[in-house]
């Protein structure tokens, strides 16, 4: 069995798969062993760029699949750290299928929380302020 590496594979069916793979030379007919293969779709919208990651095969509970080399059009090693990071994050989060690409590029549209956020004043202060406005408008109408 060969060395493991991250790879993007284009199958003759048209599917594109990202997976950690190894190649096993089986009597001159190499077999491609896929570990946790996924499909990735990039979605651009007004909120930014999202990456939708889905398992390649959703029904089987297996994580390892074998493909013969005659079913592959092309394959290329993935060295992009951002793509590998998205893949690893997906594997670590079972229920997350949409990831925001800004999380991986260092950008983020999230604001940190503080204890002051969300409140302009207390209910008591707001009530007093509104009562004073009402009293001031009533006094100016009377004169």
Element (H, E) at 97: none
pLDDT of res. 1 = 62
Beta bridge partners of 41: 52
CA separation for the pair 13, 48 (Å, rounded): 30
What is the arithmetic mean of pLDDT over 2-28?
Answer: 89
What is the chain's alpha carbon radius of gyration, rounded to the nearest angstrom? 28
Per-residue model confidence as pLDDT tens digits over 80-122: 888 888 888 888 875 444 555 555 555 555 666 666 666 677 8
- Single pTM value for the model: 0.61
Which domains are assigned to the chain?
Answer: 5-110 (2.30.30.100)
Q: Which residue has the tokens 């060295």?
A: 79
pLDDT of res. 96 = 47
Which residues fall within 8 angstroms of residue 4, CB to CB, at 6 or more apart? Answer: 20, 21, 22, 35
pLDDT of res. 28 = 76
């Amino acid at each position: 069995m060969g060395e493991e590496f991250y790879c993007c594979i284009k199958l003759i069916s048209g599917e594109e798969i990202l997976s950690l793979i190894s190649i096993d030379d089986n009597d001159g007919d190499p077999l491609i062993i896929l570990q946790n293969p996924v499909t990735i779709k990039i979605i651009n919208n007004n909120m930014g760029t999202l990456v939708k990651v889905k398992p390649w095969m959703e029904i089987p509970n297996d994580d390892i699949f074998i493909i013969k080399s005659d079913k592959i059009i092309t394959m290329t090693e993935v060295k992009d750290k951002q793509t590998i990071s998205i893949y690893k994050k997906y594997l670590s989060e079972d229920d997350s299928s949409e990831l925001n690409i800004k999380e991986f590029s260092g950008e983020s549209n999230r604001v940190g929380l503080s204890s002051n956020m969300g409140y302009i004043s207390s209910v008591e202060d707001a009530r007093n302020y509104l009562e004073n406005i009402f009293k001031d408008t009533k006094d100016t109408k009377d004169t």
